[in-house]
Structure 1
Amino acid sequence: MSNYLLELSSARVKGTPFGITSVCSAHPVVLRAALRRASVAESHVLIEATCNQVNHLGGYTGMTPADFVDLVGRMADEEGLRRDLVILGGDHLGPNPWRKERAEDALAKARDMVRAYVAAGFSKIHIDTSMGCAGESVPLDDQTIAKRAADLCAIAEETARTAGLPMPVYILGTEVPVPGGADHMLDSVEPTSPEAARATIAIHREIFEAAGLHDALKRILAFVVQPGVEFGSDNVIVYEPPKAGALAAVLQDDDSLVFEAHSTDYQPEEALTSLVRDGFAILKVGPGLTFAYREALYALDMIASELVPSYGARALAMGMEKLMLEHPGDWQGHYHGDEASLRLQRHYSYSDRIRYYWNRPEAAAAVEALATVLEGRKIPEPLLRQYLPRHDLRDVAGMQDILIAAVDAVLGTYDRAARPHPV
């Protein structure tokens, strides 16, 4: 499975670059949409769990890596997708969930997390040790980051070898965007300088070599760099190829590498196509998919309010507002402004921090109540057009399929951008 990913660099060198969408979400509807799309196309699908969502202690989803593998495997079977076409990745594996603790404690937990991911069968491992822990300077220097990455890589190698599993491929880097997007308005984002990218690649290779990780060096698939894309709460910085030209040229130094682009959520298709053409072959998307899910869910909430007076006025949205106010930890500190601004951001921000609430029992019950109200009802086509104008849903039946169609529309943009592009 990871061998497919290693073809990304050779295709780039041959002048027919292609990319792959990295679906970074643990939401069941998002997962099913991605697996269904891959099943129809009989293509590979890359699904990644992040360190905060899924870890050996459960993460905010309550799932361990083994639980996540089981969930994805069952869904793949239900969608008729061969399991060998499913590539599983671990995203931002490092001390991030415990960065408020002392470095030695946070890194010990990171080692246990990496062991759990590799033992469960994740074959694409993004090691992210870029963040400082309690009492450390921010940002860390490249040498410290690389030494910590080598330590975690050694754990991954030992775990795979001992378990008789395929050896993982690795994503490394020091200039890693904050998971989940920025938490403020952005005017611009500067691409990583070519000098910084070359220095990062060189220091990792030097330290990995010194640590005896010769075999792992051959399986370093990509480095994370900043191509100049990001999204904040209210806006999106769109990729500008000329600004990233010098950075993209760094790949001419090495035929075995591509770049991984984080925070590509909400980029237009032309920008995603240009990213792939320029060597940013792995396109990571997460909040943009759950944002599409929430958009469709809130549209159905409005439709139910129109169709069934007893349902109430926007019962789901009102329920989510109550839930987020009662449990503010997942949005407070990330959203800023007066009360009116905070209310809008809680529901509609591009950062989509509402995604942290969908697995709570109160949210699940509200979604189920909406599904019950709509079950068996034919939604008039004009009403669908009023609230879901961007989707052709004439032949879609049922709330689940409408939600999947909304997520699939985003995935379709990525898949079209990722197709081979002569340069």
Structure 2
Amino acid sequence: MHNPTSILKDLVKQVHDPDLAKEERRGIPSVCSAHPVVLEAALRRAARNKTPVLIEATCNQVNQEGGYTGMTPADFRNLVTSIAERVSCPIDAVILGGDHLGPNPWKHLPPEDAMARAGQMVEAYASAGFLKLHLDTSMGCAGEPAALADAVVAERAAFLASRAEAVAPGMAVYVVGTEVPVPGGAQEALDHLVPTTAHAARSTATITREIFSRTLSEEVWSRVLALVVQPGVEFGVENTIFYERRKARDLVETLDELPGIIFEAHSTDYQTVGNLRSLVEDGFSVLKVGPALTFALREALFSLDGLASVLRPERTSLVSVLNDIMRANPSFWKDHYDSDRADTLCLYSYSDRIRYYWTHPNVQRAVSSLLGDLEETGLPDPLISQFLPKLYERVRTGEIPREGKALVLAAVEDVLDDYSVACAPSKQA
């Protein structure tokens, strides 16, 4: 049996254990996706390896108003639970979290209105049994500057924590702070990134502790286990900024001054395994990954689409369906991609804005049609080698079933495998 909060608290203990070498530190990946196939891949791995799995929904994906997935927190919990039951993953192995919970979906409103809705969202997450809550109140709302003072951010985070405590007292563990650029990847090409300064990390922790302890209690503050900071990692539409631990040295050393706290790293997608391992050794014990998972899913589906089109040239391709729908409904990508390169970026960008379109009925029908075509035509070895070379040998040996969905699951699991290696002590990796 897994105790979800104990798993997270153990990560804190090891970072602050003076007798434990950095090379022996463990981490945990945080699967930030609402796509059912990604969730199934994560839950299958957890069942097979008998390990816990941390799954998080974001404020824009899932909220009391439905988010862009149409799901409330209770709906998302039910989706995860149903998939876990289907793949024989013990539900006590699943830790549910909420990411960037705050006024972001409603920041176009006056702060009082935006925070009222954010409070309703946090209540919905806590009521649905989400145990790890990232409270992100860093953004300005209508009439406010884009960035707010630390004290204002902390007061608003404490307000949101009070809403969680009102419906599920003593249950949640909290994460505070945010990273820059915005979650989901930068909107432009990047060539460098400055890590959070040691002073900024200390200031955020100090002010937040003072306000939580004064307005809530020391006990609630004791359940603030992680601080989101920028370690110097990010991805843009076509490039990645890799972790350079020398640049984050001062930030990492502040952990010695923050008892009971670990760092949480966002936007770790597309890092090398070695860089991910370095992050874990440096105290970034929670590694968020999202777009890289749906990017792998998209790659596999597009490869299968190409394979199927060789066998049935007359079929309507999934790629063409997606391209038409994204062009007709540009709201999820128009502020992220240059219009003169949209043809390429909509389908292939690291930012993977395509993930917002998988729930469109026409896209769902196209995916079902693709998988149905593959059942009828089969998956010949030479075409698997051509279109899915990374999976080819495992299909031939029978490790991966010769089925379209199995190949997509395997592609997503390969990304999760990299995170699993990075989160294991070096001597076990």
Match for 2:331 among 329, 332, 355?
A: 329
In the alignment, residue 419 of structure 2 is paired with which amino acid?
Y
Q: Which structure 2 residues correspond to residues 213-232 of structure 1 after superposition, within 5 A?
A: 213-232=217-236
Structure-2 separation of matches of 1:408 and 1:174: 28
Structure-1 separation of matches of 2:296 and 2:67: 23
In the alignment, residue 425 of structure 2 is paired with which amino acid?
P
Is residue 80 from structure 1 mapped to residue 88 from structure 2 by the alignment?
A: yes
Structure-2 separation of matches of 1:405 and 1:148: 41
- Superimposed CA distance per residue, residues 70-105 of structure 1 (whole angstroms, 9 cap, x where no aligned partner): 110111111111111100000000000011111111
Partner of 2:415: 410
Asked if structure 2 preserves the Cα contact closer than 8 Å seen for 1:221 and 1:258, the reply is yes
Asked if structure 2 preserves the Cα contact closer than 8 Å seen for 1:177 and 1:262, the reply is no
Asked if structure 2 preserves the Cα contact closer than 8 Å seen for 1:47 and 1:87, the reply is yes
Structure-2 separation of matches of 1:175 and 1:321: 31
Match for 2:279 among 268, 275, 281?
A: 275
Asked if structure 1 preserves the Cα contact closer than 8 Å seen for 2:236 and 2:350, the reply is yes
Partner of 1:116: 124
| Structure 1 residue 246, shift from structure 2 partner | 0.9
| Structure 1 residue 291, shift from structure 2 partner | 0.3
- Superimposed CA distance per residue, residues 125-150 of structure 1 (whole angstroms, 9 cap, x where no aligned partner): 00000111111101111111011001
| SS across alignment from 2:56 | strand
Going from structure 1 to structure 2, the CA distance change for 1:5 and 1:132 (only over 3 Å counts) comes to: same
Partner of 1:308: 312
Structure-2 separation of matches of 1:372 and 1:310: 15
- Superimposed CA distance per residue, residues 193-233 of structure 1 (whole angstroms, 9 cap, x where no aligned partner): 00110011001001111203321111111000000000000
Match for 1:11 among 11, 14, 27?
A: 14
In the alignment, residue 40 of structure 2 is paired with which amino acid?
R
Going from structure 1 to structure 2, the CA distance change for 1:175 and 1:351 (only over 3 Å counts) comes to: closer
Asked if structure 1 preserves the Cα contact closer than 8 Å seen for 2:42 and 2:416, the reply is yes
Structure-2 separation of matches of 1:244 and 1:294: 33
Structure-2 separation of matches of 1:59 and 1:337: 26
| Structure 1 residue 371, shift from structure 2 partner | 1.0
Q: Which runs of 5+ in 1 are unaligned?
A: none
Match for 2:249 among 240, 245, 256?
A: 245
In the alignment, residue 413 of structure 2 is paired with which amino acid?
D
My pick for the range that moved more, 205-214 or 68-77, is 205-214
Structure-2 separation of matches of 1:175 and 1:346: 25
| SS across alignment from 1:88 | strand
Structure-2 separation of matches of 1:65 and 1:212: 24
Match for 1:182 among 166, 186, 191?
A: 186
My pick for the range that moved more, 413-422 or 31-40, is 413-422
Structure-1 separation of matches of 2:384 and 2:36: 24
| Structure 1 residue 44, shift from structure 2 partner | 0.3
In the alignment, residue 127 of structure 2 is paired with which amino acid?
A
Partner of 1:128: 136
Partner of 2:373: 373
In the alignment, residue 55 of structure 2 is paired with which amino acid?
I
Partner of 1:320: 322
| SS across alignment from 1:54 | coil
Asked if structure 2 preserves the Cα contact closer than 8 Å seen for 1:236 and 1:267, the reply is yes
Structure-2 separation of matches of 1:183 and 1:226: 17
| Structure 1 residue 337, shift from structure 2 partner | 4.7
| Structure 1 residue 174, shift from structure 2 partner | 4.4
| Structure 1 residue 311, shift from structure 2 partner | 1.8
Is residue 46 from structure 1 mapped to residue 48 from structure 2 by the alignment?
A: no
Paired residues in the alignment total: 414
Structure-2 separation of matches of 1:242 and 1:390: 33
Give the TM-score taking structure 2 as reference length: 0.95
| SS across alignment from 1:309 | coil
Asked if structure 1 preserves the Cα contact closer than 8 Å seen for 2:213 and 2:220, the reply is no
Partner of 1:397: 402
| Structure 1 residue 252, shift from structure 2 partner | 1.1
In the alignment, residue 202 of structure 1 is paired with which amino acid?
T
Partner of 2:362: 362
Structure-2 separation of matches of 1:399 and 1:249: 47
| SS across alignment from 2:202 | helix
In the alignment, residue 334 of structure 2 is paired with which amino acid?
Q
| Structure 1 residue 385, shift from structure 2 partner | 1.6
Partner of 2:260: 256
RMSD between aligned residues: 1.2
| SS across alignment from 2:65 | coil
My pick for the range that moved more, 324-333 or 8-17, is 8-17
| SS across alignment from 2:138 | coil
Partner of 1:173: 177
In the alignment, residue 377 of structure 2 is paired with which amino acid?
R
| Structure 1 residue 179, shift from structure 2 partner | 1.8
Asked if structure 2 preserves the Cα contact closer than 8 Å seen for 1:23 and 1:285, the reply is yes
Partner of 1:388: 388
Asked if structure 2 preserves the Cα contact closer than 8 Å seen for 1:176 and 1:224, the reply is no
Is residue 294 from structure 1 mapped to residue 298 from structure 2 by the alignment?
A: yes
Structure-1 separation of matches of 2:116 and 2:82: 31
Asked if structure 2 preserves the Cα contact closer than 8 Å seen for 1:311 and 1:373, the reply is no
Is residue 60 from structure 1 mapped to residue 61 from structure 2 by the alignment?
A: no
- Superimposed CA distance per residue, residues 344-388 of structure 1 (whole angstroms, 9 cap, x where no aligned partner): 000000000000000010110111111111114332222112111
My pick for the range that moved more, 30-39 or 205-214, is 205-214
Q: Which runs of 5+ in 2 are unaligned?
A: none
- Superimposed CA distance per residue, residues 244-297 of structure 1 (whole angstroms, 9 cap, x where no aligned partner): 111111111133111000000000100000000000010000001000000000
Structure-2 separation of matches of 1:364 and 1:168: 35
Structure-2 separation of matches of 1:356 and 1:243: 34
Structure-2 separation of matches of 1:213 and 1:364: 48
Give the TM-score taking structure 1 as reference length: 0.96
| SS across alignment from 2:156 | helix
Structure-1 separation of matches of 2:207 and 2:259: 18
